Amino acid sequence: MEGLLILLVIAAAIAAIVVASRRSKARELERREAELAPVRKLTFEDVTALGEQLQELDLELAGRQLTEGENADYQRALDAYESAKTAADSMTRPDDVRHVTQILDDGRYAIACVQARVAGEPLPTRRPPCFFDPRHGLSVTDVMWAPPGGAPRDVPACALDAERVQAGADPDSRMVMAGAQRVPYYQAGGAYRPYAQGYFGAFGPMEIMFAGLLFGGLGGFDMLGDGIGAIGDGIGDLGDGIGDAIGGIGDGIGDVFDGFDF
């Protein structure tokens, strides 16, 4: 009888662990999807924007016989657009966005190279995109700017945004929804960090380039909050597992004693 009791207890514990594991995985999937949904929307909008830029380039090149260099850069831009669409369709977590924005940045640089060749100008220096909205294309300069509550620093900007900032006006920042508010993407939380990494990570450490910009996940309060939240979820899952295990053990012992005829 003691052997049967031990087997029942072990079976109950195993069942409780399996249930807790499934709950934990389900919660993790829900959390990832909640983080990914707004970033996915942002990224698909960027892919669409590159497609529109390619359409505009087609109009510029209409009736023109492309040189070898022009054709190579043009094809590179087309390939980047197709690759970005494929990569965007395959995203399953926020970190996957980084690969898409890397491709988009390559595509926009290729477009800039085509335009320079057609105009008979030198190829543009590879610079990061405009910080305020990467869809603006390559930055042309660094401009001193301070986010609300942050310290002034140099950030890459397109010509129009640089002009706005130098005139004391607000830049044309990319706005996204964060809860019930529309805020610049760089203030919308840690889920947008991979989005920025794809665009800017190749030009220097993100922590140095954008430190103090309230960009969640760059060492600020969002990172601390995410860490505490993850610990809390883990403790909660552990507690659920222990509770299920204790309940299962109790049920097993109860079943054993039910079998006795006192």
DSSP states along 226-243: HHHHHHHHHHHHHHHHHH
Ranges 102-106, 222-226, 251-255: which has the least confidence:
222-226
Do residues 162 and 136 touch, judged by C-beta distance below 8 A?
no
| Full 3-state SS string of 98-123 | HHHHHHHHHHHHHHHHHHHHHCCCCC
**Interval 2-7 mean pLDDT:** 75
Q: Pick the most confident of 16-30, 114-128, 219-233.
A: 114-128
Comparing 190 with 126, the larger pLDDT belongs to 126
Helix (H) or strand (E) holding 157, with range, is strand 153-157
pLDDT for residue 28: 66
Distance CA 126, CA 116 (A): 13
What digits encode the pLDDT tens for the residues 52-77?
A: 999 999 999 999 999 999 999 999 99
What average pLDDT score do residues 243-257 get? 50
pLDDT > 90 fraction of the chain, expressed in percent and rounded: 53
Tens of pLDDT, residue by residue over 185-234, are 998 888 898 999 999 988 876 665 666 565 543 333 333 334 434 444 54
Q: Residue 210 has what pLDDT?
A: 62
Residue closest to 138 by CA, chosen among 161, 121, 123, 157? 157
Predicted local distance difference test score (pLDDT) of residue 174 = 96
Reading the block at residue 196, the tokens are 């920025």
Q: Which stretches of the chain are assigned E, i.e. beta strand?
A: 141-145, 153-157, 175-178, 181-184
| Dist CA 245 CA 16 (whole Å) | 5
Res 109: pLDDT: 97
The alpha carbons of the chain give a radius of gyration, in whole angstroms, of 27
User: What is the band of 11 on the pLDDT scale with cuts at 50, 70, 90?
Assistant: confident
Quote the pLDDT of residue 232.
Answer: 47
Yes or no: say if 85 and 103 are a contact pair by the CB < 8 Å rule.
no
pLDDT of residue 151: 82
What confidence score (pLDDT) does residue 26 get?
A: 67
